[in-house]
Every structure is written in C-alpha cells, then in structure tokens.
A and B are shown apart, each in its own frame.
Chain A
Amino acid sequence: MTSALSRRALVGGLAAGAMGLLTGCDRLARDERFRRALFSAENMHKWLQRSLQGREALAREFRPDQRSPIFRGNGTLNPNTDGYKALWREEFRTWRLRVDGLVARPLSLSLAQLHAMPQRVQTTRHDCVEGWSAIGTWRGVPLRTVLDAAALSTRARYLVFHCMDDMGGGRDYYESIDLVDAFHPQTILAHSLNDAPLPVTNGAPLRLRVERQLGYKQAKYLARIEAVADLAQIGGGKGGFWEDVAGYEWYAGI
C-alpha cells in the first residue's frame, strides 16, 4: 500500500518535475547573462568545426543525376518591389553588383561581366535550418576572384551581402561571412541553378553560395558586397537579418 502510494507519488512528481523544468528553462532563457552563456555555444561549435575541417576542406559534391527533382525556394520567393520588378522585366540588364567598403578598387559589375570571369560549377546539397535539404548544380564566379579584382584591404575582416528583398519596415535582407569562408574555393556568386539562369524564387539574378553553412547564409537577390572591419555598425549588429531579428547563429555550420 505504502509502496503503491510512493510509486504514484514518484510518477506524479516526475511528470510535474519534467513540465516544471521546461517552464523553468523558458524563464531562465529570458535572463540576459544566461542567454549570453547559452549563445556562446556557437563559438565553441565554430572553433570545433574549423579545427576539424581544415581551411580548404570542401563540402561534398554530387553528380548531376543525384539532384533533387525540384529545388524549392524559401524565405523571400519574390522581392516584388517596383525596383526589382523593373530589373526583372529587362532581364537584369541594368542590374549591377556593387563591391565597396574596405577595397582599393570599388567595382560595379554587370551580369555580362560576371559571366566573362572564371567560373566554378558545383553540385552541392543545400541544408535549410528548418531541416530539409535539396541538391542542385550552381554555376558562378568564385568570390575570391571578385575580391582580388577589387583589391580587398588588409583591414577587412568580413564581407556583408546586401540584398534587394525588403523584409518589412524598410529593412533589406543581409548576411555576412568572414574571410575563411570568403576565400574558400566553393564560395561563389551563383547566377545559374541546374544549367539555367537563377529563378526568381532562388535569388535571381545573383546569390551567394557558402557551402559549409546553412541555407539562411546563402544570401539571395544580391545588390552589394561591402567589406568591413567589424559587423557592429551593420543592421542590428549581429551580422545578418535572422541573426538580428530572431537570434539565429551567425556561424551556421551546424
């Protein structure tokens, strides 16, 4: 009898404790100091992965016949601003990619000029932070080629990618990467997906591919690349739209 009672009490206590623990964790996560500690795991993962990776380690590449039948889009599927629609109507002929900030030779590149530069083709897996994956073939200019042409300053530490999609409140999407990823051989400015010009849903006319990180780092609808010494002055200061708005990791290798 007593043991039946104590069993019931234990099971009840366990269930109540489990629920209480989750509520307690939610409360804990509102504390600024705890939050900082929780968020610091990102640096640990970055350090671990970069230690295991080697600077030039490549994301796996696939054969064209291993591609997803349909490469879905996500986030903004069409910027739909008047400016973007005008560019789209004339097939991005007047669109320019500006490269500025801490560079000796600021650039303004047309699609034709990007096509004329050395190209890299890679069939890679796109991993969304939500959990899904799609494999597609990207074609574009290695970012390092563009940075070399612009003569990146030695003071530059990050590249900020400014996009044409308005995320509400006049804030455009943006992302940033450091020089390790900027000079990685698979980091390209892609203008083609699966042997066709980049569709609007996937970021026409140009998007970033940083193959060792998650999907939200692969900035679409590029307008400008800005070289900076630190990220504090850009947007909300955390290095990207989702990083600022929702607390996503800036280092999205995991």
Chain B
Amino acid sequence: MDDSKPALPGPVRRHRVSTRLWHWTNALCVYLLLASGLGIFNAHPRLYWGEYGANFDHAWLTLQRFGGAWTLPGHYDLAMSRRWHLSLALVFGVTLLVYLLWSLANRHVGRDLAFRRGELAPRHVWREIRDHARLRFPTGMAALRYNVLQKASYIGVIFILLPLMILTGLAMSPGMDAAWPWLTGLLGGRQSARSIHFITAWLLVAFFVVHIVMVLLAGPLSGMRAMVTGWYRPPPPRDREPAA
C-alpha cells in the first residue's frame, strides 16, 4: 500500500453528532466549573487529608486566593460561585451520563476508544511514544483512527477523571453523606475527597493543555472543523523521507 500511489483521501465523516454535541457542551461546562470551583476554593484555600480539617489542623497544601481573572464570578462571592458550580454540575453530570450511554449504544466506545489486540504491547506503545515525541503524526487513513496514546488519554478522562470529579464532588455533600455513607468512606473522608477533587481538576487542566497543543500541531483548522461539522479531511501522506 505504501508503494502504490495513495489516493488523496477526500473528506470523511469523523465525529458523530453525539460526540460533537457532548464535546462542546462538556468543554463549556468544565471550564465554568473550574472557574466557579476556584471561586469556592478561595473561601478556604487549604487542603487536608482525612475526614476533618480546619484552620488548626495540618494542611498539606495552603495557597493564596486565586485572582478574579480565574474565578466565576470575577470577584469573591462564595454564594454565587456555588450557584454556578452546583447548576453546572447538574448539566455536566447529566450530559456525561447521556453521552456514555449513547456512545456505548452507537459503539463509539467499542469501535474507536477500546484498545485493540496488540496495541498495548510495550513495543507498540514505545513506538507511538517515539512518534509522538518527534511530532510524526499519522497521515492518510491512519489519521482517522485514534492511536494508543490518544485512546489512553480519552479513556482516562472520560471513564476515570470526569466520573471522579462527580464522585468526589458528591462525597463533600453532607446530604449525600447520609444517602451514600460508603462513598465518603471509600474516598478516605470528606477532606480527602475535597483534595482529590482539587487534584483531579488540575489533571483535567493538564489534559486540556496537551489536548490543545496536539490539536495545534496536528492541524488546528481541520481538527476544529471536524469537531464542529463532523467532516474531516485526513492530511495527505508525507513526502518520502530522504534516505538515511
């Protein structure tokens, strides 16, 4: 296939409507949840491990308040930060659940995200890491499939980090503590849940940064177009490498 002249692939349907709808709703929700969450954090910018933790107890992290440019609202207002956060949390939770069910039903998860046999072999993973580090992105029809690193990060975000945000969020609620006492216990206590909530939020920020950098490197306009319209024009194969 490599030696036959490859036909320049035309535009293809890349992202389903469920993926596109959720992607943008979720991006908006997560961003505003972060901003309002930092507003809430500002009320007590200290983090603890365990069940309890207040000013006289040992904090593993003490920060200054985040500035107004980071928070929603743009000034200190715990009540309004909470109103935003707890409203958006409902939208975020419901859309994530619908998207997960929809993606299982339309086989997005099984076809596009699940690892294939051999993909997790150390040699394969190592090669993809090397290709990534050299910014050699797949071209042609290979660009349509997610590689193992993409899969790992999408699976990590969709099935681990985002659900963990919901669970640690619920574990901080005294009402949920009565409804699901096992949840707070499982997470190591309310203050541990609060710490994990904070750490996970920054892991999502880290994912976002890498995600944006990758989109920028791989062709921001075609990537954006694909996530908005669903149509994607795979990049043409690179010129042959000069002989070594």
Binding site for B on A (CB under 8 A): 3, 6-7, 10-11, 14, 18-19, 21-23, 25-26, 29, 38-39, 41-42, 44-45, 49, 52-54, 57-60, 62, 66, 68-70, 72, 125, 127-135, 211-214, 242, 246-249, 252-254
> Which chain A positions have C-beta within 8 A of B231?
none
Is B86 touching A42 in the complex (CB atoms < 8 A)? Answer: yes
Is A132 touching B174 in the complex (CB atoms < 8 A)? Answer: no
Is B53 touching A133 in the complex (CB atoms < 8 A)? Answer: yes
> Which chain B positions have C-beta within 8 A of A6?
220-221
Min CB distance, B73 to chain A, in Å? 5
Min CB distance, B59 to chain A, in Å? 10
Residue-by-residue, is B210-230 near A (CB-CB < 8 Å gives 1, otherwise 0)?
A: 001000100111001000000
Query: Of B74, B83, B178, which one neighbours A53 at CB under 8 angstroms?
Result: B178
Query: Of B86, B177, B221, which one neighbours A60 at CB under 8 angstroms?
Result: B177
Min CB distance, A193 to chain B, in Å? 14
21 A–B contact pairs at CB < 8 A? A7-B220, A18-B31, A22-B32, A25-B72, A38-B84, A49-B175, A53-B175, A57-B178, A59-B174, A59-B177, A62-B51, A69-B56, A72-B55, A72-B56, A127-B174, A132-B48, A134-B52, A212-B177, A213-B175, A253-B174, A253-B175
Residue of A nearest to B175 (CB): A253
Min CB distance, A43 to chain B, in Å? 11
CA distance in complex: A14, B31 (Å): 12
Is B56 touching A52 in the complex (CB atoms < 8 A)? Answer: no
Min CB distance, A251 to chain B, in Å? 8
**Total A-B residue contacts, Cβ distance less than 8 Å:** 156
> Which chain A positions have C-beta within 8 A of B77?
246
Is B90 touching A135 in the complex (CB atoms < 8 A)? Answer: no
CA distance in complex: A21, B179 (Å): 36
Residue of B nearest to A52 (CB): B179
Is A133 touching B179 in the complex (CB atoms < 8 A)? Answer: no
> Which chain A positions have C-beta within 8 A of B80?
29, 247
Query: Of A22, A131, A242, which one neighbours B79 at CB under 8 angstroms?
Result: A242
Residue-by-residue, is B32-45 near A (CB-CB < 8 Å gives 1, otherwise 0)?
A: 10010000110110
Is B86 touching A22 in the complex (CB atoms < 8 A)? Answer: no
153-194 of chain B: CB within 8 A of chain A: 170, 172-181, 184-185, 190-191, 194
CA distance in complex: A55, B86 (Å): 23
CA distance in complex: A242, B192 (Å): 27
Task: Answer whether residue B148 sits at the interface, using C-beta atoms and an 8 A cutoff.
Answer: no
Is A72 touching B174 in the complex (CB atoms < 8 A)? Answer: no
Query: Of A66, A131, A242, A253, which one neighbours B44 at CB under 8 angstroms?
Result: A131
Min CB distance, B76 to chain A, in Å? 11
Is B87 touching A133 in the complex (CB atoms < 8 A)? Answer: no
Is B43 touching A131 in the complex (CB atoms < 8 A)? Answer: yes
Min CB distance, B144 to chain A, in Å? 21
